[in-house]
Structure formats: C-alpha cells, structure tokens
Amino acid sequence: MPLNRLFDQREIAISSLPLPMLLLDGEGKITHANILAEEQLGTSVRKLAGRHLSDFFEPSSEVNAMLERVSQGETVTDDAFSSRFTHAPYSLHLGPHERGTVVLMVPEGNRAEVEKQAKRQEMAEAVARIALEMAHEVKNPLASLRGAGQWLSEQASDKDVVEISVHMLSEVDRIRDRIDTFLQLGPRADITMEPVNIHALLDDVCRVPEGVQLQRAYDPSLPMLLAHEARLRQAIENLWSNALEAGSTLIDWQTRMAPMVALPGHQGAVVELKITSNGTPIPKSLMDHLFQPFVTGKERGSGLGLAIVQRVIQEHGGRVKLSSEAGRTIFVLHLPLKHSGEETI
C-alpha cells in the first residue's frame, strides 16, 4: 500500500486517535504510523514502512502469536511487551482492519496518566451532582433563614437580641458564600463559548504585587480561543492566586500550540497554557488528591480552588496536569482549539 495514498474516512479516524497507532499489512509489516507512533519509535513513517512489528517489540514470539490470532479475526491485548531500543514497557492492542491490522501502542506511563485523568473526571462528575443537589436542598432554606434573621434584627428592641440576630446574619452569609463557591463545581447552564484573546485575559488577571517577577513567553501566532470567558478567567485567577499564596517570587506564563498533544473527543489542534512558579512545593502526599474538593496544603483555604480549575478546563473539553518539586511547580492546561459552531461539552 503506497504511503502517500489518500486514506479513507475510517483510516483517517484511526490515525487521529490520541494514542500511538500503526497499520500493518497481512504479513505484520508497517504501512502507516501516526505522529504519536513516530515519536514513540523515534523515526519517520518512511523509515518504518516495510519493517515488521517484531523489529520494535519483544518478545517476538508473543508478537507473532498475537498477529496470528488477529489474522483469524480476533481482537487481542497484552501488556507483556517492551521496546527493543528503550526497554520501556508497553501494552499492545491489535485488531483486524480491512487492509491488515491496527496496532495501538500504550506506554505504561501513558496508561497510568489516562487512568488518572479518567478517575479525576469521575470524581468531578460526582461532585457536580452533589453541588446540584445542594443548590436545591440547602440554598432555599438558607434564604428563608436569612430573611427571618433580617426581620428579627429590624423588629427587636432588645440590644442583646439585635446583637445575636446580626451575628446570625453574618454566619448565614458566611455559609452562603461557602456554598456559592462549592456550587461552582456543579453543572453550568450558561456555558456559551465566544472568541477570547487568551493573552489579553492573562495580562488582565495577573496583577503583579511588589516583590514578584512575572515572565511571559507568549506565542503571538495563537488564534482566538473559543471559551467561556468568565469561567476561564476564574480558573486563571485561581492558578495565579495559588502561585502567590505559595510565596512565589518568580512566575512564568507560557502559551503555545501543542502539536503532539491529543485530547479525547477532539481531532483538531490543541493550545497549551503553562504557569511555572518557584514557591513552596506541593507535598507529595497531596499530589494525587489536590484536584479533589477540600484538599489543600494551606493553613487557610477552602480547598476548592484547584477543583474549580479542573472543572472549568473539563467544561472546555481540556485537561490539567501538575508537577511539583523543590523550587518549581508547574500547572499545564491543554485546551482544544475549536471554531464557532463546534460542540464543546
């Protein structure tokens, strides 16, 4: 099969999968590889063409056994493989295709990241359902309670009663503010997207206090981002506040296109926003739980800021990643580059 032929729609869909993918002919030789597979194998599709799958993965006996089963119409999966060149562990998923065999290569590290993202998505959806329930079950009675407290403070003549009612109103307002913050994790009825200049938004949010240095490395060629501006602003504000509260003296914002990044359900380009700060690192014990509600490493804080960041980015069809070590904490946001009229959620 010539490498430069036009693929049919089915092959285009396969090649746009957010995983390294190979197409093999009936003899198990490579005829096509997507960009992610080229990156994993460290060479171009032209140099891969005609090479047998067992040239890249071992043990070859297991590779050939899987190919034999696929030739009989089976779809097979096994995680017992390693790269012949890097010795990195891989899972291989093979299935029949009308012109041979489709191979999905899943590096073990990538599989762990995919599973982590899936678990975080499930957690976010569960919290969203709780927030929606709270909106119905708590806010209305709380409003009634505040109304009664307001009436009491206005009608009472006894000084102690007035003082107690004012204190009660203050506590009701504090609870309402906490609930309003929590409800930001819930489903959004108004999620209308509009073109947003991400660089103007970053500059507007990031007001630099004394003693803090801000560096910017913006890609001026980035197009307008289709987003819900108020929600995206909120996510950026939370990340900015998080960096300042960690005692950072140097904060760096970077934007770029991310051609090697694929997002589930999106076949187009991806924009990357990255904030790097030098504040107090996040404890390792919190790293896997930091995007969950009420998890925080601060003495004072709601523990909802990063959960809201995650919710906002998920609403936009993207994902957020975190890494932190001594003197360097990095949050990376990947957002799909969409056009007006495309489905976003």
110 neighbors 19 (Cβ within 8 angstroms): yes
CA distance 224 to 127: 31
Per-residue pLDDT, 132: 62
Per-residue pLDDT, 250: 95
pTM over 0.85: no
For all residues of the chain together, what is the average pLDDT?
A: 79
Per-residue pLDDT, 294: 62
237 neighbors 304 (Cβ within 8 angstroms): no
| 334 secondary structure, DSSP code | E
SS in 3 state form for 136-151?
Answer: HHCHHHHHHHHHHHHH
Q: Among residues 225, 193, 130, which one has the least CA distance to residue 345?
A: 193
Whole-angstrom CA distances from 85 to 82, 104, 130 are 9, 18, 48
Which pLDDT band holds residue 252 (cuts at 50, 70, 90)?
very high
**CA-based max dimension of the chain:** 93
Per-residue pLDDT, 30: 93
Comparing 286 with 332, the larger pLDDT belongs to: 332
Please give the share of the chain, as a percent, with pLDDT higher than 90: 28
Q: Among residues 303, 304, 329, which one has the least CA distance to residue 244?
A: 329
DSSP run (H or E) holding 15: helix 9-15
Fold of the 194-336 domain: Heat Shock Protein 90 (3.30.565)
Which pLDDT band holds residue 244 (cuts at 50, 70, 90)?
very high
CA-CA-CA-CA dihedral for 230, 235, 240, 242, to nearest 10: 140
Comparing 181 with 25, the larger pLDDT belongs to: 25
The structural domains of the chain, with segments of one domain joined by +, span 9-107, 112-183, 194-336
331 neighbors 340 (Cβ within 8 angstroms): no
Fold of the 9-107 domain: Beta-Lactamase (3.30.450)
Determine the average pLDDT of the residues in 198-221. 93
Per-residue pLDDT, 303: 61
Q: Which residues pair with 336 in a beta bridge?
A: 270
Q: What angle do CA 27, 29, 30 make, to 5 degrees?
A: 145
Q: Is the pLDDT of residue 39 over 80?
A: yes
| 216 secondary structure, DSSP code | E
